[in-house]
Every structure is written in C-alpha cells, then in structure tokens.
Amino acid sequence: MITFPNAKINIGLNITSRRPDGYHNLETIFYPIQIKDALELIEAPEMSFETSGISIPGNANDNLCLKAYALLRKDFDLPNINIHLHKHIPIGAGLGGGSADAAFFIKLVNTKFNLGLSTEKMQSYCQLLGADCAFFIENKPVFAFDKGDVFENIELDLSTYHLALAMPQVHVSTAEAYQGVKPQESKQSLKELIKMPVEEWEGKITNDFEAHILKNHPKINEVKVAMKEAGALFTLMSGSGASVYGIFKNETNLSHLQKENLIFSGI
Ligand SMILES: C[C@@](CO)(OP(=O)(O)O)[C@H](O)COP(=O)(O)OP(=O)(O)OC[C@H]1O[C@@H](n2ccc(N)nc2=O)[C@H](O)[C@@H]1O
Ligand SMILES: Nc1ncnc2c1ncn2[C@@H]1O[C@H](COP(=O)(O)OP(=O)(O)O)[C@@H](O)[C@H]1O
C-alpha cells in the first residue's frame, strides 16, 4: 500500500511567548502544498526500512516513520513490515516533510491493518512525534496555535493563484530559528489578516523568524528579492526556513532564479 505525503507552508508565523516546557507558543496558518514524498508499506518476514531520492541526514533508525510504527506497536499487535520512503520534499526546509511522512504513515497503517483509529487518536500519536505533525492528519488549511498542534478550521483557497517555492542552499536548524527570536503577542490576528486579498498581505503577514535568519543568511533574502522583481504579490520564508515561497497572480517565468533554487511550481 502506498501514500504520498505532501508538504506545508506557513502563511504568517508569530512566536507569541515562551512556554515552561521549553517550547514556544505560536500562531500560524498551515497550508498544504502539492510537493510530495512517496511512502510504501508491505508486510514482510522481517522489519526493514529503505529510502531513495534525497538522502536523509542522521541515523535511519531515528526516522519518524519508524518512530511512528514503534508507537503504534505499543498499542496494537502489528506484523513486521518493509517501509520504502522516496524522499522528494527538501529536508530541514520549513516544509514539515518529516512530520508529513510520520502522519501519513500513521494513516496508512490505520487503513492497511484496520485499526479503526479516530482522527483525534491519530493526532495524539502525532503530537508525540513533532509539533507540526498532527496538522498532516486532516491536511487542510488551519489556523494553528499553542505549540502549533492545536487547530481551528479556516476558509482559505489559493487555488486561483500560482505558487513558486525555492530552497536557497543554506541550512537553518529549527533550534537556531527559535533561539534568535524575541516572543511577542501578535498585534493583529492572522485569522483576520488572511481575509484580505493576497495583494495586500505583503508587510502585514510576517514570519517572526525572518528578521534574524535573513540577516544571518543573506541568500534567503536574495531569493525573496528575485521573486518580488518577478512580480510576486507576496513572499515569505516558510517555518524556520530556509525555503521561501512567492504567491503570483499567474504562472511566472522565474528563469533568473538560480535553477537549483527553484524546487516547485504549482499550488
Ligand atoms: C518552526 C515550525 C513552524 O511551523 O515548523 P518547521 O520550520 O520545523 O517546519 C514548527 O514550530 C516546528 O515544528 P517541529 O519541526 O515539529 O518541531 P519539533 O521537532 O517538535 O521541535 C524542534 C525544536 O524546536 C523548538 N520548538 C518547536 C516548536 C515550538 N512550538 N516551540 C519550540 O521552541 C524546540 O526547541 C524543539 O526542541
Ligand atoms: N521521514 C523523514 N524525512 C525527513 N527528515 C526526517 C524524517 N525523519 C526524521 N527526520 C529528521 O528530521 C529533521 C528535519 O526534517 P524536516 O521535517 O525535513 O524539516 P522541517 O521541520 O524544517 O520541515 C531532519 O534533519 C532529519 O534528520
């Protein structure tokens, strides 16, 4: 059985306060985009995990898919399986790729082995794996708050626009992103701001990580500037970076962006 976990972008990201558990409260809009990995599960005599595509840093045993299966195996009598992950979503990009794999894997196991898990139960497994993981269970646009794992449904449809996504060749860790930010209550709710036409978002919908990350990694800003010059209505770094997206009225020729930077075009 196979599934295709997709990425998300953050439309706005406000870090509002520091929490006693060391995490931060935040407010953001998660919006699913159609850049995808492929994830296959087959029953097998022994457990095995293999990957192809973009290579994943770190120990394969720490992969979130295996962690998700270990969590489910604590509660259910599940067989050995072979997992194949074809990685296409850039890693450490602020696109939530690892979290997407884990959430889609839980949905896949639920279907394959008829576990009968509710949406809420699958989300609670996800919360043990990463702050933005639970979003990918329902995988629809939401306003997210607390650690980024509590959701409110919103009406947001960008399907008439065109999205360009670029990945500057720099690495930003999530921990680096959070360390450089001063938490501050939001001046205006993102839920209200996204009701404005996209043409009015620039400068009003912001990502609190951008100020210090763009200063430390000027290449990210270069991509934003290039997208604006190409006519983007709105540009923003996604999550903790380093990916940057631009929302355009129409499909746009971005050939002046360095080829290796542009990773997805669509919505
Ligand atoms: C920054 C965001 C914004 O959407 O996304 P990404 O850029 O990773 O996609 C998320 O908050 C990332 O969520 P996720 O990647 O699941 O984070 P986790 O693995 O749970 O945490 C990694 C580290 O980030 C910090 N962290 C994460 C979430 C949060 N609300 N407060 C935090 O302070 C903590 O230092 C934590 O140890
Ligand atoms: N299935 C997976 N895909 C990608 N990264 C994974 C996965 N499982 C664990 N990881 C680890 O999670 C880290 C961050 O992954 P990723 O989700 O791509 O970043 P981000 O949260 O910035 O979107 C990687 O450095 C990698 O070691």
Domains belonging to the chain, first-starting first, are 2-153 (3.30.230.10), 162-266 (3.30.70.890)
- How confident is the model over 210-237, as a mean pLDDT? 93
* Ligand that lies nearest to the alpha carbon of residue 133, given by its number in the listed order: 1
CB 248 within 8 A of CB 232: yes
Instruction: Please tell me whether 98 is known to bind a ligand.
Output: yes
By most ligand atoms within 8 Å of CB, the mutation choice from 174, 212, 243 for ligand 1 is 174
Length of the chain equals 267
Query: What is the spatial distance between Cα 119 and Cα 55, in angstroms, rounded to a whole number?
Result: 31
Task: List the one residue out of 68, 75, 175 whose CA is nearest residue 127.
Answer: 68
Complex ipTM: 0.93
Q: Of 36, 37, 87, 132, which is the active-site residue? A: 132
Q: What is the dihedral of CA 141, 166, 108, 129, to 10 degrees?
A: -80
Query: pLDDT tens digit string along 166-200?
Result: 999 888 888 889 998 999 998 899 999 999 999 99
Q: Which atom of ligand 2 is nearest to the CA of 57?
A: 27
pTM of the predicted model, to two decimals?
A: 0.94
- How confident is the model over 225-254, as a mean pLDDT? 90
Q: Which atom of ligand 1 is nearest to the CA of 149?
A: 30
Give distance in angstroms: CA of 136 to centre of ligand 1. 15
Measured distance between the N- and C-terminal CA atoms of the chain, rounded to whole angstroms:
26
